[in-house]
Amino acid sequence: MSHVVTVNPRILAMEYAVRGPIPQRAAEMAQAGRSIIPCNIGNPQGLGQRPITFYRQILSLLEDPVNLERLGRAPSDAGTYPADVIEMAGEMAEGSRTGTGAYTESAGFKFVREAVSRFIDARDQLDSEGGLASDPDQVLLTDGASGGAVYVLEALISGPQDGILVPIPQYPLYSASIARCGGVLVGYHPDEESGWTLNRSILERSLGEARSKGVKVKAIVVINPGNPTGALLDVASMKQVVDVAREWDLAIIADEVYQENTYGRPWTSFARVVGNEKIPLFSLHSVSKGFYGECGHRGGYLEIRHSPPVEGTNLTLTEVLLKQASVNLCPNTMGQFLVHLMVTGPRKGTQSEELFRRERKTILQDLEAKATMIRDSFSKMDGMECFGRTGAMYLFPRLSRLPSGVGDFDYCMALLEETGMVTVNGAGFGQAEGTNHLRVAFLPPFELIEKVMPRWVEFHNRYV
């Protein structure tokens, strides 16, 4: 193979979402000693967010069973470790039976899947509504939420005419995975000016076009709160999604990894809106976002409801997903333990509880303050319009008054050169024909953003 090799065209077709010219230029500038404000990535702990103490103390003990046993016998040696931490670490080690170093079931530790189901029932108050309790055997622990999304897409896309309905703009995981599976990405366009809401006609327009091209749409992806839009979806829109899913025979893939990032506004799960309707629902959650921000640990879960039977087999779709998971042996154990901590947390009245509440509050208030500050500055920028209720970790304003011949890429590049502000231009996510946007992740330290915003305002009004 001294000469060229042919490679899977689907892999070549995937968009390389990671390294665009903008972050590349930012890296050069940082190299040259210029100060950079990296608002381009949703990587909280990469930008100075501190981990939750309670989580890390427990993970630390789980990695050293000898020390955990020692402290269990002699809590006085515990140093900085509260008794409730040692107790819960001990319970989790026992629940796992094999600790952090052994393969687990391919679906993940049973005691963690049970905790996930309890969390969902408490969150959605569905158990009280008859037969809707979450089933631990319909929960798969995954390496981050993306692991679960990839399983579902790869199973559902059974041929080149199978389509997946995906919001535009969208998170590149979906476009890349659909390309990789050889399916058709069918875009739908939430109504930006009414706050990125949805209605039947928006969805049916896309479904009709797809059908006219012979594309069989199998599922609809909804990201709530949105990425990149950051918008929190209203229940009316969710109900329309469920209506359309029922009538067009779609599964719903609910990407709900930002469910804790709603900044005081109520959030409703798709499990709650679907209720006992027989619509297959795949909901995704992750330890990477929220106030935990544990991206590096690659922990997440996929919960399945109304798992359909698979044509030509005696399997349900859940059994197919388990088979896919078994090829990867198991999700990493530390991610699994973190999912357990995400869905439980410290017990009421424990020493850890107060610190935990304080840390959570500080992180979420800080995120909200940064979002508010940036949005306020937008109002000082000529033709900078930001729609929707703030959620997730992003703002996605529309650039309505760019000079002719100038696109959002040029704007973001110029913004970077002048202010050191790193953003992602809207074209990177897809956007409505003829519009221009940028995505700002409000994660860098408050002071950094506060310092740069006046310069951004000045730059903007000069530029447009």
CB atoms within 10 A of CB 117: 21
Q: Does 407 bind its own copies (CB under 8 A)?
A: no
Contact 222, 270 (CB under 8 A): yes
Residues 20-59 that bind its own copies (CB under 8 A): 41, 43-46, 51, 53, 56-57, 59
- Name the residue nearer to its own copies (CB basis): 46 or 445: 46
Q: Which of 36, 126, 279, 393 binds its own copies (CB under 8 A)?
A: 279
- Assess 76 for contact with its own copies (CB under 8 A): no
With binding defined as CB under 8 A, does residue 201 bind its own copies?
no
Q: Strands, DSSP E only, in 109-250?
A: 139-142, 162-167, 184-188, 216-223
Binders of its own copies among 85-114, rule CB under 8 A? 98-104, 106
Sign, Cα dihedral of 66, 68, 73, 78: positive
Q: Does 300 bind its own copies (CB under 8 A)?
A: no
Exactly one of 128, 212, 264, 278 binds its own copies (CB under 8 A); which one? 278
Report d(CA 291, CA 152) in Å as an integer.
26
Give the angle 164-123-365 at the CA atoms, nearest 5°: 90
Site for its own copies in 428-447 (CB under 8 A): none
Sign of CA dihedral 276, 320, 312, 166: positive
Q: Which amino acid is at 331?
A: P
DSSP state of 284: E
From 5-13, 133-141, 259-267, 454-462, span contacting its own copies (CB under 8 A): 5-13
Rounded least distance, CB 243 to its own copies, Å: 14
Query: How is residue 288 written in tokens?
Result: 């990477």
- Residue 184 pairs in a beta bridge with 163
Is 271 a binding residue for its own copies by CB under 8 A? The answer is no
The least distance separating its own copies from the CB of residue 245, rounded to whole angstroms, comes to 8
Establish if 343 lies at the interface with its own copies (CB under 8 A): no
The yes or no reply on residue 452 touching its own copies (CB under 8 A) is: no
Note whether 375 and 386 are within 8 A (CB). yes
- 317 contributes a contact to its own copies by CB under 8 A: yes
- For 126, 320, 358, the CA distances from 282, given in Å and listed in that order, are 16, 14, 32
Q: What backbone torsions phi and psi does residue 281 show, to the nearest 5 degrees?
A: -130, 130
Q: Of 139 and 330, which CB lies nearer to its own copies in the complex structure?
A: 330
Strands 37-38 and 421-422: parallel
* Sites for its own copies among residues 123-182 (CB under 8 A): 143-144, 146-147, 150, 154-158, 162, 173, 176-177, 180-181
Considering only residues 265, 323, 347, 357, which one is a binding residue for its own copies as defined by CB under 8 A?
Answer: 323
Among 25, 60, 275, 413, which residue interacts with its own copies (rule: CB under 8 A)?
60
In the bound state with its own copies, the residue whose beta carbon lies nearer, of 18 and 32, is 18
Site membership for its own copies, residue 358 (CB under 8 A): no
